[in-house]
Amino acid sequence: MKRSAIAITLFIVCSVLALSTQGHAINGPLLDGQGARVMGMGATNIAVTNDSNAIANNPGAIFAHDAGVVNVEVGILNPHTKFKNNLNDEDGENLLCAAPSAGFLTTPLGGKIKLGFGLFSTGGLASEFRLTNDLYGDQVYESDLCFMKLLPAIGYKVNEKLSIGLTLGAGYQTLRLKMPYQVHSGALAGNVMVADLRMEGMSYCGSLGILYKVNDAVRIGFVYKSATEIDLSGDANIDASALGAGTAKYDLDATYEWPQTAGFGLSYQATPRWLFGVDLEWINWKKAMDTLEIKFSKGNSESLPTALDDNLPLNWDDQYVVRLGGEYKATDKLTLRSGISYGKSPIPDNTVMPVLCTLTEWSATIGLGYHFTEDVSFNAAYLHSFEHTQDTDVSLIGDEYNGSSTSMALDGIYMGLAVMF
């Protein structure tokens, strides 16, 4: 009973910290997986997850074992970005971005049902450049995107081999974009203004997962996660001095869609000490990131339109991500892990821009787990996403990106504490 109270207290504390933290995850811009344990295995998670991170990874794995558990996790991410065009050859600012999460699973209720609840940093990005624009001189190009999910969950044990799980909760997003912005629609099409856009919004989200135990060694998992379409609102500060129109403030509305995904995973307990996993996941960026519709309204300038509807072309492609990972139980207390993952960049060359440069493709991880006691464990992982560069000949985003080159790499450290009861 005492252990349960400590575990619940840890969950509440971490949830409060997560709500008050600007969480950022940079990997597509979806975070590849939840939990330091699976991140150490190349983010292989669909059939490997065995704690409360199953709520976010694959709710079908809620019944991976019968214990209750609390997890508190944090990732610290450090993106490395570069941009080059005819006026610039600059590295992005050195940023550290936090991605906290917390999850809780009950013990079985009546032997067949487990309940869970979690708060997860599931996506985001952050970048900052100091670049020269041919119309506005030296400018800050900045992005700050955070996406978190608050997920109640239920798991049902159909029989000794099959379990299913369901989540239905809320997704919350903040978005800031600051950069010279080339208008694509309406009377101002082709003109450039410096825009500082700030928005936030919330919508529903959910997932369905299955875990099937073929035998004592092999488990198969499947998970579907719904798209999350969020109506964002906020405000925009505009500098149109290069147009002779001064500055203005607008109300702002936009619709941002996080993609639906579907994934298949397999885990294989080769020996009592060796465990291997593989995932294949489809991410429907093509539908979600076709265009970003932005509506400017209630403008306060006499020199600019009071309202403007613009469509920012993105034209992203669907992404297929493959993950491979394994862990080795070196001693009764120490477990060692490693893994790799690959997903081709979904961003076409003609819509790459430095403030949305989630370009990395190949990643490698290492990790470890340490059991202080039978019920209390610590996990840690290190991620390196290798530098990937995309060259833009003719840009659909803005003329300043014609003939440009954008690069990104990423380092991340993940840590998590698990308490079982």
Q: 247-260, pLDDT tens digit by residue?
A: 999 999 999 999 99
DSSP structural state of residue 42: T
Domains of the chain: 2-420 (2.40.160.60)
Instruction: Tell me the C-alpha distance between 117 and 120, whole Å.
Output: 10
Instruction: Give the pLDDT of residue 32.
Output: 82
- Strand 113-133 to strand 218-225: parallel, antiparallel, or no bridges (unpaired)? unpaired
- The dihedral built from the CA positions of residue 280, 257, 207 and 34, taken in this order, carries a sign that is positive
Q: Are 418 and 70 in contact (CB under 8 A)?
A: yes
CA neighbor of 183 nearest in space, from 204, 197, 164, 201:
197
pTM above 0.85, yes or no: yes
| Residues in the chain where the model's pLDDT stays below 70 | 1-28
User: Hunting for tokens 């029989």 — which residue is that?
Assistant: 159
| 198-207 pLDDT, tens digit each | 999 999 999 9
Q: Are 325 and 339 in contact (CB under 8 A)?
A: yes
The SS3 call for residue 96 is coil
- The dihedral built from the CA positions of residue 111, 38, 152 and 264, taken in this order, carries a sign that is negative
Instruction: Tell me the C-alpha distance between 259 and 16, whole Å.
Output: 27
Tokens read off for 16: 């409060």
DSSP structural state of residue 317: P
Instruction: Give the pLDDT of residue 28.
Output: 60
